[in-house]
């Protein structure tokens, strides 16, 4: 399932679909494909829609990832049940359904494959904010699916990964339309439960993570980095120090005096330092530049971004092709963020979309969100939501 935009991850999804957001320096969907391939699954049918060209250009026919990909297009985004029906002609035996915009590991996929029964939901035990479907389970059967209860609670979450037999398509044909005017797979499953059909929950002990909002990428990034080992393919100059699991890609250089503490991942052709500090749970994309004496912690820095000297960034997501000046500071802490006309409590630094330019000595307050292509002059203090292509002048 890779057709949706991921509206609540805006502004990062203004230029890419959610499945292409990077965690651990790989798009969400690449982690999914790796987990499937590790379990011997080779035939993948990917339903694409929003920004489909970017998905197809990256993964192509799948051979570089050890799989064979067939793309199915969902021209109208009419829900997950509608998307799954696109694959009906290709499914003549048991198959898996997974979301391309979730982080999942090989263990979770193996658990789903080995689960007994024809209709299986991969579940996770989590405390959450009420933005996920919750499964009501009795005697190892799903008795009800409560969609997004809207309040903090602990429970058995529906991860959105399933195992089905071909008979599911008959049920999909009778999916009731939702209040949003779409056809959702959870509605299909709820109707199947009412009809007395057996739905099995498989509670996973593997890794699974979603990112409902842009700042949730930081948790998924931390989990993805935790699966990496130390691999130094680039150059580490004398006087640079590396501790813990750190990956440095080919063509990258870690200059003297820099201090890196894993888990972190530095992409290919990066230039770090001298004297830069990169602390745990940070990923730096390909061809990025981090200037001297800057400090980055628990953050995602995407491809081709330039960060000046003496800059401090914490708990933040910085999009691709950004240029951030010297002595820029992103503060971090509790904040209130407006998303789709709702105000949400969160705790992070800032979200910068792609192609943002910020001058020197810029101060970003916690919860700052900057849209694609915004320009921020030197010496400016910014907070709140800054719209796409805005000009912020001190």
Convert the chain into a string of H (helix), E (strand) and C (coil).
CECCCCHHHCCHHHCCCHHHCEECCEEHHHHHHHHHHHCCCCEEEEEEECEHHHHHHHHCCCHHHCCEEEEEECCCCCCHHHHHHCCHHHCCCCEEECCCCCEECHHHHHHHHHCCCCCEEEEEEEEECCCCCEEEEECCEEEEEECCCCCCEEEEEEEEEEEECCCHHHHHCCCCCCCCCCCCHHHHHHHHHHCCCCCEEEECCCCEECCCCHHHHHHHHHHHHCCCCCEECCEECCCCEEECCEEECCCCEECCCCEEECCEEECCCCEECCCCEECCCEEECCCCEECCCCEEECCEECCCCEECCCCEEECCEECCCCEECCCCEECCEEEEEEECCEEEEEEECEEECCCCEECCCCEECCCEEECCCCEECCCCEECCEECCCCEECC
For residue range 316-339, what is the model confidence (pLDDT) as tens digits?
999 999 999 999 999 999 999 888
Q: Taking the CA atoms of the chain, what radius of gyration do you get in angstroms? A: 22
Could you tell me the sign of the dihedral formed by the alpha carbons of 46, 51, 53, 57, in that order? Answer: negative
pLDDT at 19: 94
Share of the chain above pLDDT 90, in %: 67
pLDDT at residue 150 is higher than 80: no
Rounded CA separation 173/213 (Å): 32
pLDDT at 384: 92
Q: Tell me what the pLDDT averaged over the chain comes to.
A: 91
Rounded CA separation 85/172 (Å): 7
Give the pLDDT mean for 67-71.
96
pLDDT at 32: 95
Specify the CATH number for 225-392; select among 3.40.50.40, 3.30.930.10, 2.160.10.10, 1.20.1250.20: 2.160.10.10
Give the pairing type, strands 333-339 and 342-348.
antiparallel
pLDDT at 158: 85
- Is residue 5 within 8 Å of 13, Cβ to Cβ? yes
pLDDT at 130: 53
pLDDT at residue 182 is higher than 80: no
pLDDT at 153: 56
pLDDT at 184: 84
pLDDT at residue 22 is higher than 70: yes
Domain chopping of the chain, boundaries: 7-212, 225-392
Whole-number Cα distances in Å, 306 to 137, 270, 272, 352, 362: 50, 10, 10, 13, 15
pLDDT at residue 225 is higher than 60: yes
Tell which wins on pLDDT, 76 or 353.
Answer: 353
CATH code for 7-212? Answer: 3.90.550.10
Share of the chain above pLDDT 70, in %: 96
pLDDT at 56: 95
For residue range 286-306, what is the model confidence (pLDDT) as tens digits?
999 999 999 999 999 999 999
Q: How confident is the model at residue 47 (pLDDT cuts 50, 70, 90)?
A: very high
Structure tokens at 277: 């500090």
pLDDT at residue 189 is higher than 70: yes
pLDDT at residue 373 is higher than 90: yes
Say what the pTM is: 0.89
Rounded CA separation 97/163 (Å): 6
Q: Is 240 exposed, middle or buried (0-12, 13-18, 19+ CB in 10 A)?
A: buried
For residue range 251-281, what is the model confidence (pLDDT) as tens digits?
999 999 999 998 999 999 999 999 999 999 9
pLDDT at 210: 86
Give the pLDDT mean for 238-262.
96
Give the pLDDT mean for 372-391.
94
pLDDT at residue 149 is higher than 80: no
Which of 250, 202, 231, 192 is CA-nearest to residue 104? 202
Q: How confident is the model at residue 128 (pLDDT cuts 50, 70, 90)?
A: low
Tell which wins on pLDDT, 128 or 186.
Answer: 186
Phi, psi angles (nearest 5°) of residue 39? -105, 15
Q: How confident is the model at residue 26 (pLDDT cuts 50, 70, 90)?
A: very high
Rounded CA separation 203/221 (Å): 22
pLDDT at 151: 56
Q: How confident is the model at residue 155 (pLDDT cuts 50, 70, 90)?
A: confident
Q: How confident is the model at residue 125 (pLDDT cuts 50, 70, 90)?
A: confident
């Amino acid at each position: 399932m890779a057709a949706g935009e991921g509206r609540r991850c805006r502004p990062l999804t203004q230029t890419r679909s959610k499945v292409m957001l990077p965690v651990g320096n790989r798009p969400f969907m690449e982690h999914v494909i790796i987990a499937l391939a590790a379990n011997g699954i080779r035939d993948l049918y990917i339903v694409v829609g929003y920004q489909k060209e970017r998905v197809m250009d990256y993964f192509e026919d799948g051979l570089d990832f050890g799989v064979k990909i067939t793309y199915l297009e969902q021209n109208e985004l009419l829900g997950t049940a509608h998307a799954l029906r696109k694959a009906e002609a290709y499914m003549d035996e048991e198959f898996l359904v997974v979301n391309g915009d979730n982080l999942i590991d090989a263990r979770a996929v193996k658990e789903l494959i080995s689960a007994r029964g024809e209709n299986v939901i991969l579940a996770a035990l989590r405390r959450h904010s009420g933005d996920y479907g919750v499964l009501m389970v009795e005697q190892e059967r799903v008795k009800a699916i409560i969609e997004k209860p809207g309040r903090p609670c602990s429970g058995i979450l529906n991860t959105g990964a399933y195992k089905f037999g071909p008979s599911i398509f008959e049920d999909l044909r009778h999916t009731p339309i939702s209040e949003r005017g779409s056809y959702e797979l959870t509605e299909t499953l709820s109707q199947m439960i009412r009809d007395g059909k057996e739905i099995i929950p498989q509670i996973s002990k593997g890794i699974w993570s979603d990112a409902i909002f842009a700042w949730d990428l930081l948790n998924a990034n931390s989990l993805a980095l935790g699966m990496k080992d130390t691999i130094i393919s680039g150059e580490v100059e004398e006087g640079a120090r590396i501790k813990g699991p750190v990956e440095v890609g080919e063509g990258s250089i870690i200059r003297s005096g820099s201090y890196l503490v894993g888990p972190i991942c530095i992409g290919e052709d990066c230039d770090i330092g001298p004297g830069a500090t990169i602390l745990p749970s940070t990923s730096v994309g390909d061809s990025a530049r981090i200037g001297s004496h800057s400090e980055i912690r628990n953050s995602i820095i995407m491809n081709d971004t330039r960060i000046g000297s003496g800059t401090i960034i914490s708990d933040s997501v910085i999009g691709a092709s950004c240029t951030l000046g010297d002595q820029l500071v992103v503060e971090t802490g509790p904040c209130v963020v407006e998303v789709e006309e709702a105000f949400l409590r969160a705790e992070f630094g800032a979200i910068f979309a792609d192609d943002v330019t910020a001058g020197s000595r810029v101060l970003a307050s916690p919860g700052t969100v900057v849209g694609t292509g915004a320009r921020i002059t030197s010496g400016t203090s910014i907070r709140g939501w800054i719209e796409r292509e805005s000009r912020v002048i001190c």
